[in-house]
Amino acid sequence: MLDKIKQTDPEVYELIEAEIARQKGGLEMIPSENHTSSSVLEALGSRLTDKYSEGYPGKRYYAGNQVIDKIENLAINRAKKAFSVPHANVQVYSGSPANTAVYLAVCELGDKVMGLDLPDGGHLTHGWKINISGRYFKRVPYHVKEDGYIDFEEVRALAQEHKPKLIWCGATAYVREFPFEEFAKIADEVGAYFVADIAHIAGLIIAGAHVSPAPYAHIITTTTHKTLRGPRGAMIMVTERGLEKDPELADKIDAAVFPRGVQGGPHNHQTAAIAVALGETMTPEFSEYGKQIVANAKALAAALIDKGVKLVSGGTDNHMMLVDLTKYGVGNGIFVQEALDMAGITVNKNTIPKDPGSPFYPSGVRIGTPAITTRGMKEKEMEQIAGWIAAIIEEVKDYQLPKGKEARAAYLKEFDDATSKNETILSIKKEVTQLAENFPLPQ
Can you name the residues that pair with 364 across neighbouring β-strands? Answer: 324, 350
Tell me if residue 408 is catalytic. Answer: no
What kind and span of H or E run contains 287? helix 284-306
Is the Cβ–Cβ distance between 73 and 53 less than 8 Å? Answer: no
- Rounded to whole angstroms, the Cα distance separating 375 from 111 reads 45
- Rounded to whole angstroms, the Cα distance separating 320 from 312 reads 11
* Helix, strand or coil, per DSSP, at residue 282: coil
Tell me if residue 145 is catalytic. Answer: no
Is the Cβ–Cβ distance between 97 and 263 less than 8 Å? Answer: yes
* Helix, strand or coil, per DSSP, at residue 107: coil
**Marked catalytic residue, from 221, 223, 227, 316:** 223
φ and ψ of 108, to 5 deg: -105, 155
Is the Cβ–Cβ distance between 304 and 390 less than 8 Å? Answer: yes
φ and ψ of 85, to 5 deg: -130, 155
According to DSSP H, which parts of 163-209 are helical?
180-190, 202-207
**Marked catalytic residue, from 112, 176, 226, 298:** 226
Q: Is the peptide bond before 440 cis (omega within 30 degrees of 0)?
A: no
Tell me if residue 232 is catalytic. Answer: yes
**Marked catalytic residue, from 52, 93, 136, 411:** 52
Tell me if residue 197 is catalytic. Answer: yes
**Marked catalytic residue, from 28, 72, 197, 395:** 197
Rg (CA), the chain: 22
**Marked catalytic residue, from 54, 177, 246, 416:** 54
Can you name the residues that pair with 348 across neighbouring β-strands? Answer: 366
**Marked catalytic residue, from 60, 80, 232, 408:** 232
Those residues whose C-beta lies under 8 Å from the C-beta of residue 273, and which sit 6 or more positions away, are 36, 40, 41, 43, 44, 230, 231, 233
Tell me if residue 226 is catalytic. Answer: yes
- Rounded to whole angstroms, the Cα distance separating 270 from 276 reads 10
Tell me if residue 54 is catalytic. Answer: yes
Is the Cβ–Cβ distance between 133 and 262 less than 8 Å? Answer: no
Active site members: 52, 54, 197, 223, 226, 232
